[in-house]
Amino acid sequence: MNILGIETSCDETAAAVVRDGVAVLSNCIASSLKDHQRFGGIIPEIASRRQIEFIHWVVGESLAKAKMTLKDIDALAVTRSPGLIGSLLVGLCFARALSRATGKPLIEIDHIKAHLYANYLQLPKEKLACPQNRLPAIGLVVSGGHSSLFYVKNFNDFKLLGVTRDDAAGEAFDKVARILELGYPGGPVIDRLAASGTNEEIKFPQAPLSGTYDFSFSGTKTAVLYYTQKNKSKPDYSVAKVAYAFQESVVAVLTEKSLKACRKLKVKTLLIGGGVAANSALRRRLYARAQEQGVDVFFPPMALCLDNAAMIAGLAYHSIG
Ligand code: KG4
Ligand code: ZN
């Protein structure tokens, strides 16, 4: 079964063709990221206008790359929520119209759950360990808009265990990057910089929120702000060290909460998804700590950590009777 997926929840306009819920035959993404960079964050009005410009081209390109026409497609899938409403509307209306015009079924998908499904996808040249049918699992989604922990019973049954009470993990990376004047998006640059800032001198607070699976990152972010204001003009001040200490705080909380959920709920598989899943320190720490506890942890291929439509088409496969 070939499913054409469409994703337009934020600043990416994406379309992909996925066969039988696993094989990614095409994965096309147009991004308006550059248009937002000078503002230090996503401007919804600009994002939705770019979606309108890109959508036709991206969908056509995804079919061409898969060497298909609409006749070869069995079903359509689209992101329904969450996301920026102006951006979501472009993909939803496009997909609903396409479904009406072609008579093909349309499956509307939750973007956050799809981020976890990215672990099950296979890119043509990339042979990564795949969790296959290893469920139940604990799923951690960490992106610019969300930090959520799930108990995944099966692909149609996700139980939400906890969410962020303030900033999402990626949002905290982006805001700290702004404080450190590193540009937008903050995650990749902090990740790179932290590699040369290893130190034990600076420690930022973590919010354990004991007894819950919720997260909170705004206290850590504010501590970075106060530290920077106080120390910026001192001769031994190092942005790389601050980036390292901030990243360590966030990574420690994400790692320990996810593994605690695995222990308490007696689950041996941990799935990670969302843009922050690209973070090298998170990957290292989770692989090491999960191994100690006999938990297998899975990250999607790098190309599928950020927003894409292959994850939408892949998850949709499991909703078709
Ligand atoms: O999943 P995504 O593409 O969009 C949302 O659904 O939000 O995630 C984007 C987020 C941004 O906040 C970005 O700073 C973060 O993912 N990100 C990273 C890294 N690469 C992207 N955060 C930490 N380390 C990275 N290497
Ligand atoms: Zn996302």
Separation of alpha carbons 3 and 16, rounded Å: 8
How far separated are the first and last CA of the chain, in Å rounded? 12
pLDDT at 100: 98
pLDDT at 154: 93
Test site for ligand 1: of 173, 178, 304, 312, most ligand atoms within 8 A of the Cβ: 173
For residue 191 and ligand 1, the question of a CB distance below 6 A is answered with yes
- Ligand 1 atom closest to residue 173's alpha carbon, by position in its atom list: 14
**How many angstroms does the Cα of residue 269 sit away from the middle of ligand 1?**
23
- Ligand 1 atom closest to residue 274's alpha carbon, by position in its atom list: 1
Q: What is the pLDDT of residues 114-173, one digit of tens each?
A: 999 999 999 887 777 777 778 999 999 999 999 999 999 999 999 999 999 999 999 999
- Ligand 1 atom closest to residue 12's alpha carbon, by position in its atom list: 3
**Which residues neighbour ligand 2 (ion) by CB within 5 Å?**
143, 307
**What count of residues does the chain have?**
321
CATH C-level class of 137-300? alpha beta
Q: What is the pLDDT of residues 251-261, one digit of tens each?
A: 999 999 999 99
The residue contributing the CA closest to ligand 1 atom 19 is 187
Separation of alpha carbons 299 and 278, rounded Å: 8
Q: What is the reported pTM?
A: 0.94
Contact 82, 9 (CB under 8 A): yes
pLDDT at 207: 93
Question: What are the tokens at 10?
Answer: 């934020």
If 0-12 CB within 10 Å is exposed, 13-18 middle and 19+ buried, where does residue 255 land?
Answer: buried
pLDDT at 306: 92
Q: What is the 3-state secondary structure (H, E, C) of the chain?
A: CEEEEEECCCCEEEEEEEECCCEEEEEEEEECHHHHHCCCCCCHHHHHHHHHHHHHHHHHHHHHHCCCCHHHCCEEEEEEECCCHHHHHHHHHHHHHHHHHHCCCEEEEEHHHHHHHHHHCECCCCCCCCCCCCCCEEEEEECCCCEEEEEEEECCEEEEEEEECCCCHHHHHHHHHHHCCCCCCHHHHHHHHHCCCCCCCCCCCCCCCCCCCCECCHHHHHHHHHHHHHHCCCCCCCHHHHHHHHHHHHHHHHHHHHHHHHHHCCCCEEEEECHHHHCHHHHHHHHHHHHHCCCEEECCCHHHCCCCCHHHHHHHHHHCC
Number of the ligand closest to the Cα of 29: 1
Separation of alpha carbons 159 and 113, rounded Å: 10
The residue contributing the CA closest to ligand 1 atom 2 is 275
For residue 186 and ligand 1, the question of a CB distance below 6 A is answered with yes
pLDDT at 134: 85
CATH number of 2-128+305-319: 3.30.420.40
Domain map (residue ranges) of the chain: 2-128+305-319, 137-300
Number of the ligand closest to the Cα of 185: 1
Question: What are the tokens at 169?
Answer: 């993990």
**How many angstroms does the Cα of residue 231 sit away from the middle of ligand 2?**
34
136: preceding bond cis by omega (within 30 degrees) = yes
For residue 208 and ligand 1, the question of a CB distance below 6 A is answered with no
Crossing angle for the helix pair 186-194 and 239-264, nearest 10 degrees?
A: 100
Per CATH, 2-128+305-319 and 137-300 having the same topology is answered: yes
Cα radius of gyration (the chain): 20
- Ligand 1 atom closest to residue 146's alpha carbon, by position in its atom list: 7
Question: What are the tokens at 23?
Answer: 């094989």
**How many angstroms does the Cα of residue 306 sit away from the middle of ligand 1?**
7
Sheet architecture: strand order including 106-110: 23-31, 12-19, 2-7, 75-81, 106-110
Separation of alpha carbons 107 and 192, rounded Å: 38
Crossing angle for the helix pair 44-65 and 85-102, nearest 10 degrees?
A: 30
Nearest CA-CA partner of 47 in 2, 16, 12: 12
For residue 11 and ligand 1, the question of a CB distance below 6 A is answered with no
Residue ranges in the chain modelled with pLDDT below 70: none
Separation of alpha carbons 135 and 153, rounded Å: 6
The residue contributing the CA closest to ligand 1 atom 8 is 275
**How many angstroms does the Cα of residue 223 sit away from the middle of ligand 1?**
21
Contact 259, 291 (CB under 8 A): no
